[in-house]
Amino acid sequence: MTRPPQPGPPQPQVTIHAIGQEREPLAVLDRFSGSPDAFLEIGRRSHFQAAGAFYPGLRAPARPDLVDRRRDLVARVLEEVFGLRQPVVLEMLAYALVTTPPGDLAPLQAIPHYDAASEGVVAGMFYMMGPETGGTAFYRHRLTGYETITAAREQAYRAAMAEDGRAFGSPPRAYHYGDTPRYEMIYEVEARPDRLVLYRAKLLHSGVIPDPSLLSPDPAEGRMTMNMFFRGR
């Protein structure tokens, strides 16, 4: 007796958003890997170290298995949505744990940030955990109206940040979320297991931390994501 073919894992679902007044693309790829728990388990066995001066936590290098699994899909989205032409290089792929208590945040860690003032760099955030751990929010800087920071805007943005400091003082020691005198939130993407979010690295954004008291440096307990950067021409 011939057995009927067994259904394979669900295929990824791709949704494209145009966010803010600048209508920047944001790609959401759900059901991306088909096995988020397996990647989470690898992350929990990884060796984490301090991520440097800007990231409020720890990182551990990751193998490219996640991207390799859907290489053709990622390449198509990077080209058709973000205009990245080949060759596209995966510059960084790492597990990340947010660990810093709010009271220990540096001023630049308490406001939205951008990763690169470049059209040719796309950031990726892979979620393995649920919405209770927090997603990513995107912002408009009120004084300048900027939602993205390009090389041509960097000098004016830095001057405006200094003006913010004179007007409002130091940012509160807290993970930034929502509308403030400095920034207006323009979009929020929710964390869901097996969701990959891609956006240009020039977008102002901040991680959403619903309950900082739950942050932990223990990979078995902490808010773990996988972060990546793609660079093309």
> Going residue by residue through the chain (233 aa), what tens digit of pLDDT does each one get?
455 555 556 789 999 999 999 999 999 999 999 999 999 999 999 999 998 778 999 999 999 999 999 999 999 999 999 999 889 999 999 999 999 999 999 999 999 999 999 989 999 999 999 999 999 999 999 999 999 999 999 999 999 999 999 999 999 999 999 999 999 999 999 999 999 999 999 999 999 999 999 999 999 999 999 999 999 97
Position 190 scores a pLDDT of: 97
Position 2 scores a pLDDT of: 53
Position 52 scores a pLDDT of: 78
Q: Which two three-digit tokens encode residue 149? A: 């920071």
Position 3 scores a pLDDT of: 58
* pTM recorded for the entire structure: 0.93
